[in-house]
Chains A and B, each alone.
Chain A
């Protein structure tokens, strides 16, 4: 009966839309989201931006200082990601089905990675700030812990998904554990792992802005200072510089990915 299909499709659609509508109404209610202001603020923000949010010549005078902070932030993000990747690579060897010692080590590593990844960056930043105070170390460690959790999981998935043929061939010849890892596992997984590393650097430079804002360091703090003192021309220059940096790094990552993958 063809009519049945249409009735069922209609009913399914109706149920889907009604549940989305109910969730939407509930969300608007509990978050006190102002629907009208939501729409008008977009127009207002663009009108305001056109009038105030562009760099003027006073702002350009601050460029060297902004670039110095941005450079520091980029360096910090890269350092945090690379060091996290080294630790994550070790953990991934313990956690992957292919290279683990036993099932227990795998479960422990996966659990640890999950905890590190799911504690929000904000929580890391705030917890670390209590002892490390307003310094770049706070941001560095916050990014490090988050990246460590994320990369461990990504690397485990990469090793798990890689072909086992080379590993089995080496195992059959009686090769040792480290020979297998360095001759079979790493060579076949390295491109994908590097791709994850580049992705993480991208993400961390973006997140460094947020962490900097919370912990009073780096480019995030620079933006916050200008923003809160209503120096919007300078703040806009900070945004433009961040955008350029991220786009350049993204283009570089894409270029590298095209070659290695």
Chain B
């Protein structure tokens, strides 16, 4: 026992101090938040009981008189369409911004400006982008796609730029030495060699965009399964229909996730 006590404690390094302070701060904030936030005088026990009863109906008796399985499926395909368009537009624009943002392809000031722009775009929540564009284009799929494209641009520009930066510097220098211009370097070396990463990142974003498209359907009146979910729970209070929609979204989201995990594995494996 005494021998154990004589072992000096490991010295605290800076990162440990920071982690401890951060966790303490978060714990304090959480306790303060739970103690002071106005939770609006609801009967917690009753609300929990009600929610459990609702969940039972939603998950054990999905169905509903208004929405058939096939039409729900059709709505999911519309949502997938929104996600696809968003990812495609975002990907095309991000390809150019990514080239301008990659440190081995563009001068330093340009990369700084591109990355700052991208960070600013990301700081505005997606739903706010969509609602801002809805003023010009009207609520619906057009505003949703344009608004969601902004976040996709931001995410993909960062991912693409990092993929481009992985390219060996010597390849670019060899091409430069042989007299290739910037466009030739980009299209003959940079894009072909990072193409599979680009596809993987794009697919990861597609998965995120699917979830976003569901959310925009509910919150910004874009078409697709999100809107049906909003109507079923907010207007018709039809729990069985909420169940059907939730199950269908869940099935698609899980399938996308399985595919995205494979895509992520490819990125990690190579990186």
A residues sitting closer than 8 Å to B (CB atoms) are: 20, 23-24, 26-28, 30-34, 37-38, 40-42, 44-45, 48-49, 53, 72, 75-76, 78-79, 82-83, 114-115, 117-123, 126-137, 140, 190-191, 194, 197, 206-207, 209-210, 213-214, 220, 223, 227, 232, 239, 242-243, 246-247, 250, 256, 259-260
Q: CB within 8 A of A75: which of B32, B141, B146, B245?
A: B32
Which B residues lie within 8 Å of A197 (CB)? 26
A122→B137 CA distance, assembly (Å): 23
* Shortest Cβ gap from A152 to chain B (Å): 14
Asked if B23 is at the interface (CB within 8 A of a chain A CB), the reply is yes
Q: How many B residues, CB 8 Å from partner? A: 79
Which B residues lie within 8 Å of A127 (CB)? 51, 54-55, 58, 233, 242, 246
Q: A41-B133, A78-B26, A256-B18 are known contacts. Are A31 and B141 too (CB-CB below 8 A)? A: yes
Which A residues lie within 8 Å of B26 (CB)? 78, 82, 197
Which residue of B has the minimal Cβ distance to A34? B142
In addition to A24-B84, A41-B133, A207-B125, 20 A-B residue pairs with Cβ atoms within 8 Å of each other are: A30-B81, A31-B82, A32-B141, A38-B145, A41-B136, A48-B136, A76-B33, A79-B33, A82-B29, A118-B250, A120-B249, A122-B229, A123-B246, A127-B51, A131-B54, A190-B19, A210-B215, A232-B135, A243-B124, A256-B22
The reply to whether A126 and B47 contact each other, CB–CB distance below 8 Å, is no
Which A residues lie within 8 Å of B175 (CB)? none
Asked if B183 is at the interface (CB within 8 A of a chain A CB), the reply is no
Q: Please name the 8 residue pairs, one residue from A and one from B, whose CB atoms are nearest each other, closest first.
A: A135-B40, A41-B137, A27-B81, A131-B50, A118-B253, A126-B233, A75-B33, A44-B136
**Interface 1/0 per residue, B77-93 and A, CB below 8 Å:** 11011101100100000
23 A-B contact pairs sorted by A residue (CB < 8 Å)? A20-B88, A24-B88, A28-B81, A38-B142, A41-B143, A45-B132, A45-B135, A45-B146, A82-B27, A82-B29, A118-B250, A118-B254, A118-B257, A119-B249, A119-B253, A121-B211, A126-B218, A130-B239, A136-B39, A206-B126, A250-B119, A259-B18, A260-B19
A242→B122 CA distance, assembly (Å): 11
The reply to whether A33 and B85 contact each other, CB–CB distance below 8 Å, is yes
* Shortest Cβ gap from B28 to chain A (Å): 10
**Interface 1/0 per residue, B228-241 and A, CB below 8 Å:** 01100110010100
Which residue of B has the minimal Cβ distance to A73? B37
Interfacial residues of chain B within 123-141, with CB under 8 A of chain A in the complex: 123-128, 131-133, 135-137, 140-141
The reply to whether B51 and A132 contact each other, CB–CB distance below 8 Å, is yes
Q: CB within 8 A of A247: which of B15, B33, B119, B137?
A: B119
Which A residues lie within 8 Å of B125 (CB)? 206-207, 209-210, 242
A220→B149 CA distance, assembly (Å): 21
Which B residues lie within 8 Å of A82 (CB)? 26-27, 29-30
The reply to whether B142 and A120 contact each other, CB–CB distance below 8 Å, is no
Q: CB within 8 A of B246: which of A28, A119, A260?
A: A119
* Shortest Cβ gap from B71 to chain A (Å): 13
* Shortest Cβ gap from B8 to chain A (Å): 17
The reply to whether B214 and A23 contact each other, CB–CB distance below 8 Å, is no
A191→B233 CA distance, assembly (Å): 40
The reply to whether A31 and B223 contact each other, CB–CB distance below 8 Å, is yes
Which A residues lie within 8 Å of B249 (CB)? 118-120, 123
A214→B221 CA distance, assembly (Å): 12
The reply to whether A41 and B132 contact each other, CB–CB distance below 8 Å, is no
A41→B36 CA distance, assembly (Å): 43
A128→B233 CA distance, assembly (Å): 10
The reply to whether B215 and A121 contact each other, CB–CB distance below 8 Å, is yes
Asked if B1 is at the interface (CB within 8 A of a chain A CB), the reply is no
Which B residues lie within 8 Å of A53 (CB)? 132
Which A residues lie within 8 Å of B70 (CB)? none
